[in-house]
Structure 1
Amino acid sequence: MSTEKRKSSNSNKQEKVVYREFGGDNSAATERAVPDLPPSQQNLRVQSSRAGRKGKTVTVITGFQAKPETLTALLKQLKSQCGAGGTVKENEIEIQGDHKQKLLQVLTQIGYKVKISGG
């Protein structure tokens, strides 16, 4: 019983870590850096896709090199322009429906270099 008491009293104190493979305190240092390039330096691809979406058509915009906050602001603007829903997934923007031409015009006006990909 004396060892259990010793363990519980030691657990209340700060643990001494001898070795830690991926330190937990320096999370800012281990985060992956995402370059936030201006729109004129980004090459985007716009394509329609139905794969894995139960037959629903979704317009996917890929090629972003921006922070998630920038993508969510852009998503909000694109959704209002198209009158459709959408989301940000894995640094890509998905807009519900087939809006390739509309998104091409809107993104070009904002200053992005955009190409339509696929058929």
Structure 2
Amino acid sequence: MDLKDQLKNLFPEHKESEEPKKEKSNVWLQDDPIICKYEKRKGKPITILEGYNGATSDFKTLAKEIKTKLSVGGSFKDDKIIIQGDYRDKIMTMLKDKGFKVKRVGG
């Protein structure tokens, strides 16, 4: 017995309605490729993303999404996303899946 059957037993008069799921479709405006750099600050590796020329709120949303998917810390300062650790390959594949042009710099 799955969850739907259990709910039907609890609420027999409830009728199930099918609602189409709405997907978030972000349109990313990008002329030049996003630059993905690797640096060391105070001996610790970081990944820097810069070169986005769209809205700042979109870039902040992208930063939050990257941080949650990779389960790492980071910040957004001066139109740059700073991610703790060397995650260039993973970030570049994520951005390419979203439709961005990405360029790897340094190493």
Q: Does 1:38 align with 2:28?
A: yes
Q: Does 1:83 align with 2:71?
A: yes
Return the alpha-carbon distance in structure 1 between the equivalents of residues 30 and 37 of structure 2: 20
TM-score using structure 1 length = 0.63
Return the alpha-carbon distance in structure 2 between the equivalents of residues 98 and 64 of structure 1: 20
Cα shift readout 1:8-39 (whole Å, capped 9, x = no counterpart): xxxxxxxxxxxxxxxxxxxxxxxxxxxxx834
Give 1 or 2: higher strand fraction. Answer: 2
Query: Which has the larger Rg?
Result: 1
Show structure 1 runs of 4+ deviating over 2 A: 37-42
Cα RMSD of the aligned pairs, angstroms, is 1.6
Unaligned runs of 5+ in 2: 1-26
TM-score using structure 2 length = 0.69
Structure 2 contact 74–81 (Cα < 8 Å) conserved: yes
How many residues were matched structurally? 81
Report matched runs for 1:1-119 at 5 Å. 38-50=28-40, 53-119=41-107
Return the alpha-carbon distance in structure 2 between the equivalents of residues 38 and 78 of structure 1: 15
Q: Percent identity?
A: 31
Structure 1 contact 75–93 (Cα < 8 Å) conserved: yes
